Structure 1
Amino acid sequence: MNPTFVSTQYLANSLVLPVQQAQAQLTTAITEESTGQYADLGLQLGDQSGYELSLKEQVQQLQALTTGNSVVATNLSTAQDALTSMSTSAQTTVQDLATWTAGADSGAQLQTIGQTALQELTSSANATSGDAYVFGGINSGAAPLNDYFSTGSKASSAVETAFETAFGCSPTSAAAANITASQMQSFLSGPFADLFSGSNWTSDWSTASSTNTSAEIAPGQTVTTSTNTNSPAFQSLAEAYTMVAAFGGSSLSTSAQQAVASAATSLVSQGQSAVTQTQAALGATQSQVTDANSAMSSQLTLIQTQVGNLDNVDQTATAAKITALTNQIQVAYELTARLQQLNLAQYLPVS
């Protein structure tokens, strides 16, 4: 037989390891109670860790798309506001042209109508959302519509050149009074109209890209999120307003000025119709963004619930565990203290 040596020191030390283990478990439990999640998800989930990671990646994707959609929604709203201003301005211009009457000194009034409308069009076309021009297409970093009234305007120079080429004089020349209404109509529908289409438009008027911006608004769903100043709405309105601004205050006869007003009225109506169509298209996109956000919100709630079921601790069970571990450690401390107080001499008979 081998003798077994037992001492109070040995008994006291025997509780050290269980206490350390209990303290480690208590620290973990307290952390889990404060965060609401398991301290070691890998250990807790095991082979479900990959599934949990996949769910969190889906959450991040949906949150990123939702954040991006807020920018898209703001840009679309800005574009709609600008188009509404354009439509309102067009309606006002049509009314002003309808009430205008050709006569003595009426050319200046006609010119003012055109200048005001063209300036408003330029302002609306160059609307911005953040740092982006909403009608610039993918070239959203530059103002899409050039200012006709700016110094060195290529558009203004092109109009003057076209007029002089067609009639051999400038609009303000006395010789312009000899231009008939029929000749003016032919000019407006021919050489003048050519200035507002094709390469002439993109060279002298617009710096926008004809490729519109697009965005993924939901997983697998990409939509067009803008329009640009190369579309018919902008071209028709610019053509109408420019002819009134350029030739209204000229030396044209009253019949030729009336031809200008009539041609402009028709073009403004076309432009206003095109604006309405553009608003409808952007409105459809706005509805798609709203629907996508609603669907993703529901999906996010479902996935986050699944993640929570995997990651989140049972608060009631964790609180009970903390209480049990605290009591266990307290008892161990008390036992250790009592064992350390034991002394063999207290039990030896006194001789």
Structure 2
Amino acid sequence: MKSSFISSSAIQNAMRLTIRQAQNQMTKATMEATTGVYADIGVSLGGNAARSVDFSREVDRIASIKSSNSLVTARMESSQLGLSKMKDVGDGLVSKLTALQGSHDPGSITVAIQSATSALSTMMDTANTMVNGEYLFSGINTDVQPLTDKTTATSAAIVTQLNAYAAALVPPKAVKDLTGAEMSTFITTKVEPMFTEAAWTDPTTGWSQASSQNMTSRISNSEVIESSTNANSEGMRYFALASVMTSALLGQGLSSDAMSTVSKQAISYTTKATSGLVTQASQLGLSQERVKKSNDALDAQSNIIKNKLVDLQGVDPYEASTLVKTLETQLETAYTIVSKIQQLSLVNYL
């Protein structure tokens, strides 16, 4: 009779191998049950792995565009708030100047001058607003402060030209004797040209270092929009013109007729300013609407691609969870067997 040997060590080694394989399978199944996708895309998909990579890359690209769009939206929203604030201040200045037309007493004149000075200060502060390290109203020169206050120099130049204008009349006149028609001519021929775009952006004497070219942003594969505005617009130039002219001329002891002309012209310029600011806001509003529509389209595109990814690399979570439980049972059984084998000893049978 031939006897055969059964080694408890061989059984233990076999069980250890089984345990190691089950642990690897369990790690993979647990990951798939948690993430809902194959643990190893390359092994599971084979030749289709390239498609999975392409889809994932496209989803990431869309997410990158949307992230950029959120920054663009924030910049335009902040710009809208600034333009709205300037318009409100301009409307307030019109109210003060309108009141001046009904009364030229020193108190009303002082209030009008103070209002003009305050309105210009607010406009300057708002135009120099910075968000996320960029100036909102600098056009493409986002790292350069757009406006520098030239009120003192400009007011002095206006007064100097006013005196020269009055002295050049035939016959010469004192400033206090200028008529409304003469004051109107002075404003349109001498003061208004000080606020043309060329004078406004003059590198030496100008108010603005902003670029007249606005920023552009790509908001989708095929769409590029203007995503900023700038301080060289007619709205801001007319705003400064109305404010500086008011503060410079109303304190020159003008006749009632000339003072009425100054206030009328200032009202006209301020109205043009607020109209220009509304136009800037409208242009930004159109860009904001395009960004919103682009984001909606990108969301729809992303959802379609994500669904394709799920179809391509997705696993059944229920099946993966069931496999995890099965493997847990197998491991518990294997651990029990190994434990029993380790407790075997010939001593127990001697």
- Please tell me the residue identity of whatever aligns with 2:284: L
Q: Give the match for residue 84 of structure 2.
A: 84
C-alpha distance after superposition, 1:134-153 (max 9, x if no partner): 1111112233222244xxx5
Structure 1 letter corresponding to 2:186: F
Matches within 5 A, 1:188-199: 188-199=187-198
| TM-score, length of structure 1 as denominator length | 0.83
Moved more, 248-257 or 155-164: 155-164
The amino acid that maps onto 1:86 is: M
**RMSD across aligned C-alpha pairs, in angstroms?**
3.0
Q: Could you tell me which of 125, 130, 139 is aligned with 2:127?
A: 125
* Contact 1:214 1:222 survives alignment (8 Å): yes
Q: Distance in 2 between matches of 1:247 and 1:124?
A: 25
> Within 2, Cα distance between the matches of 1:218 and 1:231?
28
CA shift in 2, pair 1:188/1:48, >3 Å: same
Identity among equivalent pairs (%): 27
Contact 1:155/1:205 (8 A) holds in 2: no
Q: Is the 8 A contact 1:111 1:247 kept in 2?
A: no
- For the residue of structure 2 that corresponds to 1:256, the secondary structure is helix
Conservation of the 8 A alpha-carbon contact between 1:212 and 1:227:
yes
Contact 1:109-1:248 at 8 Å conserved across structures: no
CA contact (8 A) 2:93 2:115 kept: yes
Once the two structures are superposed, what CA deviation does each residue of 1:207-262 show, in whole Å capped at 9, x if it has no partner?
11111112122222111111111111111121112111111112333322222112
1:40 alignment counterpart: 40
1:349 match: none
Alignment CA distance shift 1:114-1:337 (3 Å) = closer
Q: Deviations over 1:52-74 (max 9, x none)?
A: 11111121122122222222222
Return closer, same or farther for 1:23/1:87 CA change in 2, 3 Å cut-off.
closer
Amino acid at match of 2:58: Q
| Per-residue deviation, 1:189 | 0.8
Shift in CA distance, 125/338, structure 1 to aligned 2, threshold 3 Å:
closer
Partner of 1:293: 295
Aligned-partner Cα distance in 1 for 2:227–2:3: 85
In structure 2, give the amino acid aligned to 1:55. Answer: F
Change (3 A) 1:16 1:103: closer
How far did 1:196 drift?
0.6
Contact in 1 for aligned 2:163/2:175 (Cα 8 Å): no
User: Which runs of 5 or more residues in structure 1 are unaligned?
Assistant: 347-351
Task: Write the letter of the residue equivalent to 2:241.
Answer: E
Per the alignment, in what secondary structure is the counterpart of residue 193 of structure 1? Answer: helix
Higher alpha-carbon deviation: 227-236 or 215-224: 215-224
TM-score normalised per structure 2: 0.83
Residue of structure 2 equivalent to 1:179: 178
Deviates more, 1:330-339 or 1:226-235: 330-339
